[in-house]
Structure 1
């Protein structure tokens, strides 16, 4: 059976990463092939059977998913959507003072009917009315396909949309209309309404912001209070998994309920032997965990944890106490049957990987004292998170082991039980409810400020990016480190982690220009030899989440860049400059130039500035003179390298283009042009194109941009001039290198065979 389940896992993985789905008729044939081992059972036939069945089921499920996805013809189209709010709205305060609410809408109807495929939309609402789960609404929205930024080394948002069952996105563009509710609908989403009520009560309890956010997160999975700073703080210590209700939290609740079940059995012994013989510990564990998962909104992580628990408890009831790995495989199989795309999610690998590592450790470590049994799991998890963190999180915390040894028991034995006890007592006694939450908040209020102070002074999170070979060697190191004879070979085992910890040095002998996909903004990296220049950092918030943290820095680390020779910020618009401080704080920056250096530790860009690198690499600042303001103050950078000339124009308008033409004239000629102001109609005049005369024009703008970038007139103007046009929104990150024949060599991140769900 284990062989068949392994085949099923392999088949699911193969079908999910495949560019194609099996047609319906072929899926039926494959299912018949999968049934063949019934007549002749061998290990190979079982493996093939599981593989074939998984591929067929994934193809059938995938066809349904693609059929429900918003059609490309409806992208950026206005529509009227009617449906039920099917999730807990997530509230985010905006700088304007307005609140943003994001929620899932279970679609009943969409007008026009040509856009009526999606079943679930993820909508963004900026209105003042507080939305509630189970309510029926009619929204005027602007629809978008579930699309995401595409860059090496960064989070794949498209995979998250697909995994979460999001068929389309939308922004509410006009007044929303509340419709009459149906009683059945309110009952259907009663758990979500309870979650929202509990979250609101915790918010009014008068606790500190940190304690409020943590209690909301661990009680009802409401992460509205977990802002960027809090998430970043927990990440520094390797304990941000405590903020997401997952297997660890479900295991805590199930473990406490299991102990209560055993106590119940002891109490029943004197009254009824028959009643005491029932598996009360397992029943209590599963029942309590199920209620907790419902309170968490049946999120993907909690459902996955509940399935794992069900499989393990079922094994105990059946007397299969030694079938840990079989139970784990069965749980993975059930999860993938329900949603095959789970296999490309980080949560699947992190949760199942953690349990597998603990089971592996338990096989080899049977003679440990109490201290060893308490410490070793955290040490194993710390080692495991080195390769797993490099693959999925971009790094790991070097203080994760002591942090988890403190916070896991504190959260599991105090914070979570008291938070849930407060939920149970709500409506019975408000004073007892408040007391529970205050006691749960007390250790958080003590630990939180001290942790924040240390995180400010020391860099606790270590970025890790290495080759797949280095990651596999580190995983092998984790496996052998727990074996009894490992102590004799510590230097050899430690050597298995060195390729991962040392990373890889940046080396690009050929001049390379990388235009990253940062949506409505710009971020360009130029590399030659072991040197690197970054032009702009993408958008976001200077003090909060920004694309420098989520895209630019992961890309630089994946490329082996740990030091920037030059950082150029074209001007102070946030879509260009938001991540400047994030980059400077994260890595060494030798020179920092800015078109508008007000309030930053940078020198101003001025016409005539120039510098060079070895290998005949030259840089020239063409603008500004110093009197310009706004977009025209953009730092215009010309890069001259053997086989490639690139002109990065920032956001300059037509007037500044004329000024540059009159001064620089033929010196503007370039092979690559970063189109000014994201392709806006206010830039990229015909005269500008005549003098620059590029063979390639790259547009950095958002997908289905609400600003209308790039403007169709600008695209037509470029194409009429015979210029090859590429948009990062469509191609993902673009890499440009000099070709062997004097032409430019291009590579796109979305190139090649993409999985069918992309």
Structure 2
């Protein structure tokens, strides 16, 4: 039996309704990290009474709330056409799925390939994308040719439609997975391959500014940079800054301190961003104090695997982020994390800074 049932009164119903209204009131205040939890709130209420259909109207009746009718004001549809970043938990690797205005999508890296000895035959990112019913990626980015970033691309090209593929011209001489992804991109029907250069503006969606801050569009081979092959590949990462409705996100891929120094010199205060995707999984070679002074992030997201062999993220990086005033979020601790970019006007949907959706 439902707790909220028309014609019956329970002494604690007003208390619960008051709590819901209080939460709704909080939602209209500006919070640093707005995350949509409308469904989470409904699930929480359902767990209390088993069949919550709504809150009481003035006449005491219960208006229905259905999945097809989310709580939203008629005058503000911005949340429907907004921008969301999903920092997908692919363990030790990167994958950022982006929901863009107008129904467009982007995927920045796809995490590692499945372990041959594992019972799972598809990459971790596939579970996330299938769960969301994704059939097409409008913009697919391979930030640089390291396996923990490109490993899942084979599945993406095989199972999904890809319209645009963004790549560097850097070859990982010690691997062939990057070349496989490039061959798949060339064979993908209708797929346009891009080699973005620093300063390029990418046309992804109306109202969204995507600027390339760093890349390696010229041909190069990691074998020519021994013994620092790893650093060379990391520092050829495609670095993007996304801006939407006054909010911004700086996505550093695996770029290290050398790239950070160049960005500070080139862009200075122009690096300031609400969100920082921490470079190289929080390794000791990234996220310098000088860099953080320019970025001034409110939230820092670290994509990292639990119990990884690299010591990521390092205590020094965590300390620098904390000193910079950034709220730190980690996929190894929170799972997949969703971040909703700010809407131009307050939305009636419930957004909270301390609650993130984790798979």
> Shorter-normalised TM-score: what interval?
0.5 to 0.7
Whether contact under 8 Å (1:624, 1:635) holds in the other structure is yes
Per-residue CA deviations over 1:603-631 (Å, capped at 9, x if unaligned) read 33321222234441111111124468311
Q: Which residue of 1 aligns with 2:90?
A: 518
Q: Is the 8 A contact 2:169 2:217 kept in 1?
A: no
Structure-1 separation of matches of 2:269 and 2:67: 49
Find the residue that maps to 1:647 and give its secondary structure.
strand
Paired residues for 1:20-35 under 5 Å:
none
Q: Does 1:634 align with 2:237?
A: yes
CA-CA distance at 1:535 after TM superposition: 0.4
Cα distance change on mapping 1:655 and 1:614 into 2, 3 Å: closer
1:733 and 1:681, CA in 2 relative to 1: closer, same or farther beyond 3 A?
same
Q: How far apart are the structure 2 equivalents of 1:746 and 1:696? A: 11
Q: 1:158-203 deviations in whole A, cap 9, x for unaligned?
A: xxxxxxxxxxxxxxxxxxxxxxxxxxxxxxxxxxxxxxxxxxxxxx
Question: Of residues 348, 351, 356 in structure 2, which corresponds to 1:748?
Answer: 356
**Counterpart position of 1:645:** 248
Larger radius of gyration: 1
Residues 309-338 of structure 1, C-alpha deviation per residue, up to 9 Å, x if partnerless? xxxxxxxxxxxxxxxxxxxxxxxxxxxxxx
Instruction: List per-residue Cα deviations over 1:241-285 (Å, max 9, x = no partner).
Output: xxxxxxxxxxxxxxxxxxxxxxxxxxxxxxxxxxxxxxxxxxxxx
Residue-by-residue CA offset, 1:422-474 (whole Å, 9 max, x unaligned): xxxxxxxxxxxxxxxxxxxxxxxxxxxxxxxxxxxxxxxxxxxxxx999xxxx
Contact 2:107/2:141 (<8 A) preserved: yes
Q: Is the 8 A contact 1:539 1:546 kept in 2?
A: no
Shift of 1:570: 0.9
Tell me, in whole angstroms, the C-alpha distance in 1 between the residues paired with 2:197 and 2:297.
Answer: 24
Matched residues in 2 for 1:676 and 1:564: separation? 24
Asked whether the equivalents of residues 644 and 744 of structure 1 are also in contact (C-alpha less than 8 Å), the reply is: no
Q: Distance in 2 between matches of 1:546 and 1:591?
A: 32
Q: Is the 8 A contact 1:676 1:683 kept in 2?
A: yes
CA distance, structure 1, for counterparts of residue 158 and residue 131 of structure 2: 18
Gaps of 5+ in 1: 1-467, 471-506, 752-758
Ranked by relative contact order (alpha carbons within 8 Å, sequence separation 6 or more), the top structure is 2
Provide the alpha-carbon RMSD of the alignment.
3.0
Counterpart of 1:697 (choices 297, 300, 303) is 300
Distance 2:168 2:352 in 1: 29
How far does residue 660 in structure 1 lie from its aligned partner after superposition? 1.4
Question: Is the helix fraction higher in 1 or 2?
Answer: 1
Report the alpha carbon displacement of residue 640 of structure 1 after superposing the two structures with TM.
1.1
Judge conservation of contact 2:168–2:216 (CA < 8 Å) in 1: no
Quote the offset at 1:669 in angstroms: 1.3
- Residue equivalent to 1:729: 332
Report how far residue 738 of structure 1 moved.
Answer: 3.2
What is the distance in 2 between the residues matched to 1:568 and 1:547?
A: 24
TM-score (ref. length: structure 2): 0.62
In structure 1, C-alpha distance between the alignment counterparts of 2:243 and 2:203, rounded to whole Å: 9
**Gap runs ≥5 in structure 2:** 1-65, 69-78, 172-178, 186-192, 221-231
- The number of residue pairs the alignment matches comes to 248
Whole-Å Cα distance in 2 between the matches of residues 605 and 542 of structure 1?
31
Which one of 198, 203, 217 corresponds to residue 607 of structure 1?
A: 198
Equivalence for 1:590: 163
Contact 2:208 2:243 (8 Å CA) reproduced: yes
Normalized against structure 1, the TM-score is what? 0.31
- Higher alpha-carbon deviation: 598-607 or 616-625: 598-607
Instruction: Give the drift of 1:541.
Output: 5.5
Q: How is 1:110-259 mapped onto 2 (pairs within 5 angstroms)?
A: none
Are 1:624 and 2:215 an aligned pair?
yes
